[in-house]
Amino acid sequence: MEQTGLNMSERTELLGLLHRMCVIRAFDSTLPELYTKGLSRGSSHAALGQEAVAVGACAAIGEDDYITSTHRGHGHAIAKGADIGRMMAEILGRSDGYCRGKGGSMHIADFSIGMLGANGIVGGGFGLAAGAALSAQLRGVERIVLCFFGDGAINQGAFHEISNLAGIWKLPLVLLCENNQFAMSARATAMVSGGDLAARSSAFGFPSESVDGMDVLAVRAAVRRAADRARAGDGPTLIVANCYRFAGHFSGDTMSYRSRDEGDPWLKRDPLVTFRRVLVEQGLVDDAEADAIEHAAELAVREAIEFAKLSPFPEPATAWEDVYG
Amino acid sequence: MAERILTYSEALNEALREEMHRDPSVFLMGEDLCTWGDEGGVFGVTKGLANEFGTERVRDTPISEQGFVAMGVGAAITGMRPVVELMYGDFLALAMEPLVNQAAKIRYMFGGQVGVPLVVRTNLGASGGKAAQHSQSLEAWLMHVPGLKVVVPRTPADAKGLLTTAIRDDNPVVFLEHKLLYFTKGPVPLGEHVVPLGRAATVRPGSHLTIVGTHVMVDRALEAAAELFDEGIDVEVIDLRTLVPLDIETIVSSVERTTRLLICHESVERAGWAGEVAMEVMKHAFDALDAPIGRVCGKNVPVPYSESLEPLVVPQAAEIAAAARALLAGVELSLPALTG
């Protein structure tokens, strides 16, 4: 775990990182319960085990910067600062949801904080992210774009087209691949020719970095380096954050494609547990305070669910609104 | 208002130039826009614009249609008004992901948080042996996607006025030109010229039969109408100008007078928009109809290369005239008195 230079002056920020990771864990842990109780419908995808990637990456960029997200996007939204009550209301299909109940889990967006949307199409965010980066470049504003995607999306043509376009135009873009090892049931080891995801950037003439996606501080440091390059006008960077999807693809996944214990080495490196341990070892927090952070996160998620349940379903007339504006 | 004679291509160029002057958020992206041929664009539409506005605002892209159309969407949701060119309409197939799953959905799916003021310009139609992958008319694909607007200008004046409106629209607009029209000429107003979307133009008044069409089908319908007039058949011809929104009122009010309708499109007949127009007319004006609605459309085959084959699969004036005669077979007609 990257831990050099941790000190009391950073304490508030570091505890903030732990808090957000705990909120994501608590939030996505409720998804099966929401589904079995009939409160949610469609598909919801949990990012359990991937909290350090979302939180570390978003901690490395500014409030004005943009992110694009994926179908497994709750963590990205929370890390960027989205309101979990409105997120939960969206998942429950209620009128106070971010999309007024029209998007659901896979389409949470908050343009007021630069969160340009989760995306139900694998690789759908590449072009949106690069277009937002071009927009920032053309408008002359110092904004960069952080594009989250998975090991599945790196095999989409869009990845290659956008890597090339971002490279030739030196777009202020950070391409952050969360290699959680699985695209539904398909293993990255079987589906990525050559095996080395990070190597793909070299063909497009920009750097890449592989980073431990279970280590929030390592992710933050890598994304900071990439963000600095983007802001300096040096163009895109590919970061591959290696992590592990603790849960199935979605709530109902039987996970017949993997053995019961194959994830154990990864589970032992649970990003919340390891980060908490480091903070305690460094004397930045004691166990009681860390417990309080975890409990506060769980409580916040319970409150979000209560808020969502009280929110009315959308009026029928809204089904016809916002097709055009 | 003062007018000059311009080609359709020049009229489009003028709309782009004027909107780029008016609004700094307008920029152009596409293949070979800057230096190809005579200063830009395979059909000359972007001629001179890179020199005038620079290659930041008029950007040559690599051949990555999905990528740069998706970037247009990303730019549109973050404060810009991109006008993206696909060199041929057939390449829509490469760009359907960002158009259909992103551009058309974003406003609705995100609960109205943001609009997508994007224009994607491309062209339809068979012309001069470009064969199966450079001749298709795929507008019905786009009409089938709520959230997209579909514009099909025919005259140089409409090309300018509708493109201006499309650029100012806060929704994704697919702006479909036609290869055979780029070098046709017509009067075009000087200065700002805006044509609203969703308003068809009656280009020839008539009393016995209504023909609706778009692009060169309108010209072929007019050719057929001139021939039919000599036979005592008086045809009204309507140029739809936009397909989404569709001006069904103009069609219905015409059919209520003429009582007969023939629909012409170059795109293939099967699941084409003639079926949509016919259903709408039946819904609104069934009692006015004195004959089944007819259609003359592209044949259900890919467009072939040879000059002896291509015209067989795309409606020609003679086929339209024959269909009109069939709709009026056995009916005693009288031409309106020629007055004045």
Q: Per the residue annotation, which of B31, B65, B139, B266 is the catalytic one? A: B65
Distance of alpha carbon A141 from alpha carbon A119, whole angstroms: 25
Question: Which contacts (CB < 8 Å, 24+ apart) does range A152-156 have?
Answer: A152/A122, A152/A183, A152/A184, A152/A186, A152/A188, A152/A191, A153/A70, A153/A122, A153/A123, A153/A125, A153/A126, A153/A177, A154/A192, A154/A197, A154/A200, A155/A191, A155/A192, A156/A122, A156/A123, A156/A126
Q: Look at residue A118 and give its three-state secondary structure.
A: coil
pLDDT tens by residue, B124-148:
999 999 999 999 999 999 999 999 9
Distance of alpha carbon B69 from alpha carbon B120, whole angstroms: 8
The answer to whether residue B340 scores a pLDDT higher than 80 is: no
Please confirm, yes or no, whether B65 is among the known catalytic residues.
yes
Spacing of C-alpha A251 from chain mean position: 18
Half-sphere exposure of A79 (CA within 13 A, CB side): 33
The answer to whether residue A281 scores a pLDDT higher than 70 is: yes
ipTM of the complex: 0.96
Q: Tell me which of A128, A170, A171 to substitute to probe the interface with B (most B C-beta atoms closer than 10 Å).
A: A128
A186 CB within 8 Å of a chain B CB: no
pLDDT tens by residue, B38-69:
888 899 999 999 999 999 999 999 999 999 99
pLDDT tens by residue, A54-65:
999 999 999 999
Residue B232 binned pLDDT confidence (cut-offs 50, 70, 90): very high
A308 CB within 8 Å of a chain B CB: no
Please judge whether A162 and B76 are an interchain contact, meaning their C-beta atoms are less than 8 angstroms apart. no
* CA A106-A69-B98 angle, 5° bins: 80
Q: What is the number of CB-based contacts under 8 A between chain A and chain B? A: 142
pLDDT tens by residue, A164-200:
999 999 999 999 999 999 999 999 999 999 999 999 9
pLDDT tens by residue, B145-162:
999 999 999 999 999 999
Q: Look at residue A231 and give its three-state secondary structure.
A: helix
A117 CB within 8 Å of a chain B CB: yes
Please confirm, yes or no, whether B21 is among the known catalytic residues.
no
Q: Per the residue annotation, which of B10, B19, B134, B193 is the catalytic one? A: B134
pTM above 0.90, yes or no: yes
pLDDT tens by residue, B275-305:
999 999 999 999 999 999 999 999 999 999 9
Residue A5 binned pLDDT confidence (cut-offs 50, 70, 90): low
Q: Which two tokens stand for residue B163?
A: 């493109």
pLDDT tens by residue, A219-245:
999 999 999 999 999 999 999 999 999
pLDDT tens by residue, A33-78:
999 999 999 999 999 999 999 999 999 999 999 999 999 999 999 9
Burial (CB count within 10 angstroms: exposed 0-12, middle 13-18, buried 19+), residue B301 = exposed
Please judge whether B71 and A110 are an interchain contact, meaning their C-beta atoms are less than 8 angstroms apart. no
Q: Chain B: residue nearest A121 by CA?
A: B101
Spacing of C-alpha A24 from chain mean position: 10
Q: Tell me which of B68, B108, B165, B242 to substitute to probe the interface with A (most A C-beta atoms closer than 10 Å).
A: B108
Distance of alpha carbon B273 from alpha carbon B279, whole angstroms: 10
Among partner residues B80, B98, B113, which is closest to A135 by beta-carbon distance?
Answer: B80
B interface residues, A as partner, C-beta within 8 Å: 25, 27, 56-57, 61-62, 64, 66-80, 82, 97-98, 101-102, 106-115, 146-147, 149, 170-171
Nearest-CA neighbor of B181 among B150, B147, B157?
B157
Whole-angstrom distance between the N-terminal and C-terminal Cα of chain B? 27
Q: At B213, which helix (H) or strand (E)? A: strand B209-213
Q: What is the mean pLDDT of chain A?
A: 96
Among partner residues B27, B98, B110, which is closest to A117 by beta-carbon distance?
Answer: B110
Half-sphere exposure of A297 (CA within 13 A, CB side): 24
Query: Would the CA dihedral through B163, B167, B168, B171 be positive or negative?
Result: positive
- In chain A, the largest separation of any two C-alpha atoms, in whole Å, equals 56
Q: Tell me which of B55, B100, B105, B110 to substitute to probe the interface with A (most A C-beta atoms closer than 10 Å).
A: B110
